[in-house]
Amino acid sequence: MKLLRTIRLDPSDTFVFDSAAEPGEWAVPGAFMFMDIELDALSGKARVAFRSGFLGVQSLGWSTLCQIVETSDEGLVGAVNQLATQLVAKFGAPDIETARAAAEEEFAFAASLCDHPKDTLIAMHRVFEDGAIRETFRTLRPREGERPLRAFAFMEVDGEEELAPEERVDLVSMAGRGKR
């Protein structure tokens, strides 16, 4: 079975999100985090998290990319239990059984994105339109064979769509703002 784990190819997640997921966390798309929020009013880092963030289930931080990894049934159960515990502790789920059912649903959706070879990277673009949240996903695959993942080792991109100018993130200028 395959699931998603957060991955960090460079430090950009640590300054584009209020809270960045740690590399290697189990991940889900995490749209439920935005269910009770006025989405049109989002700005800054919260808007970036909405537009492109996968949720790391341990830290509840965000990751721009996730990596498809193999796991066992026990790995899935552990990931589901970790998210279910978060849903009870941080989101007011009424009990662990209800939270576990919701967590299983989140991981089933995440697993449905993993119909690609192991080590494929997944990126997301999320929008709110016509009263609904819509997510599109793209994949980045290593050029050839299994190699250690490096930021520029990826060539093939599926599902690439041109972003509107207001949806582009200028990482260079954001990094300069944080320096004194």
Convert the pLDDT of each residue in 80-98 to its tens digit.
999 999 999 999 999 999 9
CB 54 within 8 A of CB 63: yes
| 150: pLDDT strictly greater than 90 | no
CB 54 within 8 A of CB 6: yes
The position carrying tokens 């509107």 is 164
| 161: pLDDT strictly greater than 50 | yes
pLDDT score for 44: 95
Higher pLDDT, 85 or 167: 85
CB 55 within 8 A of CB 35: no
- Strand partners of residue 165: none
**Listed range (53-57, 62-66, 142-146) with the worst mean pLDDT:** 142-146
Average pLDDT, integer, range 115-119: 94
pLDDT score for 157: 52
| 171: pLDDT strictly greater than 70 | no
pLDDT score for 131: 87
**Is 83 strand, coil or helix?**
helix
Reported as a pLDDT band with limits 50, 70 and 90, residue 149 is low
Instruction: Compute the distance between CA of residue 167 and CA of residue 48 in angstroms, rounded to an integer.
Output: 8
Q: How far is CA 61 from the centre of its chain?
A: 9
- Strand partners of residue 154: 142
Helix (H) or strand (E) holding 90, with range, is helix 73-91
pLDDT score for 35: 86
Helix (H) or strand (E) holding 154, with range, is strand 154-158
- Strand partners of residue 17: none
Instruction: Compute the distance between CA of residue 43 and CA of residue 136 in angstroms, rounded to an integer.
Output: 20
- Provide the mean pLDDT of the chain: 86
pLDDT score for 178: 47
CB 80 within 8 A of CB 100: yes
Report strand pairing: 62-63 vs 154-158.
unpaired
